[in-house]
Structure 1
Amino acid sequence: MYTTIAVLVIVMVLLTQALFVVKQQQAYIIERLGKFNRVAQPGLNVKIPFFDRIVKRVELRIQQLDLTVETKTHDNVFVTIPVSVQYQVSNAADSYYRLASPSQQITAYVFDRVRSSLSQLDLDDAFSSKDRIAREIELTLSQEMDGYGFRIVNTLVTDINPDPTVRASMNSINAAQREREAAISLAEAEKIKIVKQAEADAESKKLQGEGIANQRKAIVDGLVSQYESLRDAGIGSEAQEMLLLTQYFDTLQEIAKHSRTQTLMLPSNPGGVADAMTELRNSLLSSSMATSQYARDMPEN
């Protein structure tokens, strides 16, 4: 009876030592008498007690290694660069037997690649080259780590952080450039506004001048026509002077209505009025000739 119990206990111990379960997304490295035997896959597995031994439980899920690299750019600016490397075991046996510390190996490759790339770039170029640096790191790691049983899934360069004083200087420079561009834009807008206003004023004055010239030509032509009609009819100079005097007073009335002048100097003696009539007659005749000549010379629109 005791023998049976002893046998059952031995069998249970052997079964416990022989049977083992591998979880999903894991692999077990099995050695037999100190030599690699096989890789146990997920599920129920059997090993020979006292001969086979589980030496390593390998994680097959994607792992991430976060690093911070301190280096110097081509223009001697010290920066810190956060780098994230996502990797996965592709060959469990090689990952265990060929590489003692994969994280340290990946770190060494990342530091070497980042420092090599940043030493050839100025700070401004480094900001625009983050994706290229990440691709270079991923390519280098993929080539080097593949032989050790690791697959590089992705590499991210999340930021480039210069010294705080350098960052403050860069912000000041960017702010000054934006203010300069804004000032240039405002000046261009004001210039366009002034030019357009000047063009509009010139066109308005041109049209106004043409209107005044036509108006004066019509008035002068009418007065000259009336004056010549009176002269041809044999009417004396008194009637002619009365006509001119009437037009003279009408003109003064228009000036009083539309001009901003508050004081107007006029002759008060009879001789002064007679002289004014003579000058007015001569001016009308001269204006008629000048206005006719201007109308002939003015280009047609």
Structure 2
Amino acid sequence: MPVFSGVLLVIIVALLFLCFVTVQQGTVAVITVFGKFRRILHPGLNFRIPFIEVIFKRISYQNRSKELKFQAISQDQANIYFSAMLLYSVLNEESTTIENVAFKFVDEQSFMQALIRSVEGEVRGFVATKKQSEILQLRSEIIQHVKGELDIQLEGWGYHLLDIQINDITFDEAILRSMAQVVASNNLKAAAENEGQALLITKTKAAEAEGNAIKISAEAERQAAQMRGQGVALFREEVARGMALAAKEMESANLDASFILFSMWTDAIKHFAEYGKGNTIFLDGSSNNYQRTMQQLMSTLQGFEGNDGNTPEKKK
């Protein structure tokens, strides 16, 4: 009797042990009854009916990643090599979703193969419509295209494609060399254009500066000439006024006005002799030349007096 009691106690403890199941955080347990899906067990301590409810599979709904490397052909028949990473997870913890994840594929390997081939197919289909020169600039468009096309399909499997990152895009060696040559030629072209623009700007600025300098110089010369002309005019006015005044005074003293002109003529010769750079002054001392010179001086004096309104003839 004591032995039977001990055995019964052991059986009861074992049954109790089999009735409780622990599910780890981040996973759920799929329960089947006689091979048919019944329910799911969430993280923590769960109760089940021993020998009837069986844990078919434990499914993680944590994020998972997968590295991909594959080849595609562009519209212009260029080989393009991609290196990408997939980030995916179970869509949610709902019973329908977990059921799809558990029973859509035979095993995890089959699901991964389908996922990888689907991604590669979408990328190849997109790349086949583009030229190789456009691919490097369409990285984000490729990602958006793949996600847009696969999201609905993956939801039917119970998964969600969180992200796809294209880490590297490479080409054949010949294409890489040609692309490098194109880039180098474009850089040389840009450098030549920049140099030409810089030279044009330099020439333009120099021409503007030269033009402004000419304008400033011309304006200064114009003002200087105007001032010189005004000075000469004032000088002549003062000379005329002084000569007219001297002529009046000599006439009031009953002296011949030609004496002033003769004095001016001799002062001029003296000035030439003192300040001239030459060593010789040639003068025509003939009576005809002297008479002609005096007549010219007298006519000049009469002109000065005429400006004043009084001539020797009027006063006489």
TM-score using structure 2 length: 0.67
Q: What is the number of equivalent residue pairs in this alignment?
A: 253
Match of 1:205 in 2: 214
Correspondences of 1:169-184 after superposition (within 5 Å): 169-184=178-193
Q: For 1:23 and 1:127, how far apart are their aligned partners in 2?
A: 43
Deviation at 1:137, TM superposition (A): 0.9
Does 2:125 correspond to 1:116?
Answer: yes
Correspondences of 1:1-301 after superposition (within 5 Å): 1-90=2-91, 91-100=97-106, 101-209=110-218, 211-212=220-221, 222=232, 234-235=261-262, 249=277
1:68-94, Cα deviation, whole Å (9 max, x unpaired) = 221012222211122322222232211
8 Å CA contact retained: 2:273, 2:281: no
Change in CA separation of 1:13 and 1:193 when aligned onto 2, cut-off 3 Å: same
1:81-110, Cα deviation, whole Å (9 max, x unpaired) = 223222222322111111232211111110
Q: For 2:270 and 2:142, how far apart are their aligned partners in 1?
A: 100
Q: For 1:237 and 1:217, how far apart are their aligned partners in 2?
A: 30
Change in CA separation of 1:237 and 1:169 when aligned onto 2, cut-off 3 Å: farther
Match of 2:75, SS state, is: coil
Structure 2 stretches lacking a partner, 5+ long:
92-96, 245-259, 283-316
8 Å CA contact retained: 1:31, 1:55: yes
AA of the residue aligned to 2:32: E
Q: For 1:207 and 1:151, how far apart are their aligned partners in 2?
A: 77
Q: For 2:280 and 2:273, how far apart are their aligned partners in 1?
A: 14
Match of 2:22, SS state, is: strand
Q: For 1:14 and 1:205, how far apart are their aligned partners in 2?
A: 112
1:175-205, Cα deviation, whole Å (9 max, x unpaired) = 3323332332232222222222223223323
1:114-173, Cα deviation, whole Å (9 max, x unpaired) = 001011112232222211211111122211111121122223333322234433432343
Q: For 1:123 and 1:180, how far apart are their aligned partners in 2?
A: 22
Match of 1:128, SS state, is: helix
8 Å CA contact retained: 2:83, 2:168: yes
Q: For 2:171 and 2:32, how far apart are their aligned partners in 1?
A: 50
TM-score using structure 1 length: 0.70
AA of the residue aligned to 1:202: G
Q: For 2:68 and 2:155, how far apart are their aligned partners in 1?
A: 20
Match of 1:53, SS state, is: strand
Deviation at 1:243, TM superposition (A): 6.3
Change in CA separation of 1:211 and 1:152 when aligned onto 2, cut-off 3 Å: closer
Match of 1:121, SS state, is: coil
Larger Rg: 2
Match of 2:182, SS state, is: helix
Match of 2:310 in 1: none
Aligned Cα RMSD in Å? Answer: 3.4
Deviation at 1:268, TM superposition (A): 9.4
Match of 1:182, SS state, is: helix
AA of the residue aligned to 2:84: V
Q: For 2:222 and 2:158, how far apart are their aligned partners in 1?
A: 98
